[in-house]
Amino acid sequence: MHAMKELIHSKVQAARAGVNGEVRVDDVFQKYSFPFEYVVLHDVSLESRGKFQMDTICLTQYFAVILESKNIGGSLSFKDNPLQLVRELDDGKMDAFESPEVQIERNKYLLSDWFRSIGVELPIYGVIVLSNPKTIVVNSPHKFPIIFPQTIPVFLRNIPRAKVYMDVHQMHNLAKEIVASHRSYIPYPMCKRWSIDPRDLLTGVLCEKCDKLVMVKRKNGWNCLNCGHVDRHAHEKAIREWFVLIGESINNRQCRYFLQLDSFQSASRILNSMGLVREGTSKSNTIYKWIWDEKS
């Protein structure tokens, strides 16, 4: 059941995004100790006036913090009116994304609403966390701070702790209540959620031994050109990655592009072997869809 969720937490995202040295938010919480009690929850989906999903939420007796991770390379400019995130790459190519400020604002509003509905009073802060160490911020956001993961401990310590809103026991109960109310709702595809342009993703089949996207298909299966690992089923993970990261459907051309395959027949065999739903009237317009269910 966890095959899809594991992909989200695995190194796939970093590998596909071509990011080296990515520091994850949960690593930071595991490494540092804080001078106060806290609970950290990842991938929390709740529902109040609307469904909302938070990458990471940190609860303390004094405040809650929503940490919104973004993995966007290049130079970022946070624009104000309207709120928008514009990214420029080295080659001058520009893209626009929904501003993480809008996402945090919405999540703050919905979370405070959810807190109110269960009788909890707790100030909520928001922060944007950049997981790609090569990102350059040209114009900072105005409403929320933007930090790299290494700065999370300092950021949390600097939030005022003047008023105690609950005791430690109540804080853990609140965490339990959040977990109990969690609706496993993951807004696929994740590229949209993470503000990643799918065209920026590296293609190829990932070697699970060395995390390099350099597997080639041979008679005996997929062979890693880097470490020699052989895996007959490496393509299955790549196809699942497509559905988790990029789109609701895949066709033969997209499969060849994403898996770096030359042969129409090979791609066709792979797609037909994955238990996907086939739609279309001819070889040329066939598309394949993943069947999402509660478990995935």
Binding status of residue 229 toward Zn ion by CB under 5 A:
yes
The minimum distance between CB 10 and Zn ion, in angstroms, equals: 15
Q: Is the dihedral of CA 133, 10, 210, 17 positive or negative?
A: negative
Binding status of residue 227 toward Zn ion by CB under 5 A:
yes
The rounded distance, in Å, linking the Cα atoms of 89 and 232 is: 36
User: Which helix (H) or strand (E) covers residue 114, if one does?
Assistant: helix 100-117
Q: What size, in residues, is the chain? A: 296
The minimum distance between CB 216 and Zn ion, in angstroms, equals: 11
Q: Tell me which stretch binds Zn ion (CB under 5 A): 104-112, 151-159, 202-210, 276-284.
A: 202-210
Three-state SS at 142: coil
**Contacting residue, 12, 65, 174, 207, with Zn ion by CB under 5 A:** 207
**HEC per residue, 173-240:** HHHHHHHHHCCCCCCCCHHHHCCCCHHHCCCCECCCCCCCCCEEEECCEEEECCCCCEECCHHHHHHH
The minimum distance between CB 261 and Zn ion, in angstroms, equals: 18
Binding status of residue 224 toward Zn ion by CB under 5 A:
yes
C-beta of 8 vs 207, nearer to Zn ion: 207
Q: Tell me which stretch binds Zn ion (CB under 5 A): 49-57, 64-72, 228-236, 266-274.
A: 228-236
Binding status of residue 96 toward Zn ion by CB under 5 A:
no
CB 130 within 8 A of CB 70: yes
Binding status of residue 209 toward Zn ion by CB under 5 A:
yes
Binding status of residue 271 toward Zn ion by CB under 5 A:
no
The minimum distance between CB 190 and Zn ion, in angstroms, equals: 24
Q: How many CB atoms lie within 10 A of CB 241?
A: 24
Binding status of residue 226 toward Zn ion by CB under 5 A:
yes
Q: Tell me which stretch binds Zn ion (CB under 5 A): 4-12, 98-106, 198-206, 225-233.
A: 225-233
**Contacting residue, 118, 138, 210, 216, with Zn ion by CB under 5 A:** 210
Closest CA to 258 of 212, 201, 188, 189: 201
Query: Peptide bond preceding 189: is omega within 30 degrees of 0, i.e. cis?
Result: yes
The minimum distance between CB 207 and Zn ion, in angstroms, equals: 3
Q: Tell me which stretch binds Zn ion (CB under 5 A): 107-115, 168-176, 229-237, 256-264.
A: 229-237
The minimum distance between CB 222 and Zn ion, in angstroms, equals: 10
* Strand ranges across the sheet with 84-88: 94-97, 84-88, 75-79, 136-139
The minimum distance between CB 209 and Zn ion, in angstroms, equals: 4
Contact positions toward Zn ion, by CB under 5 A? Answer: 207, 209-210, 224, 226-227, 229
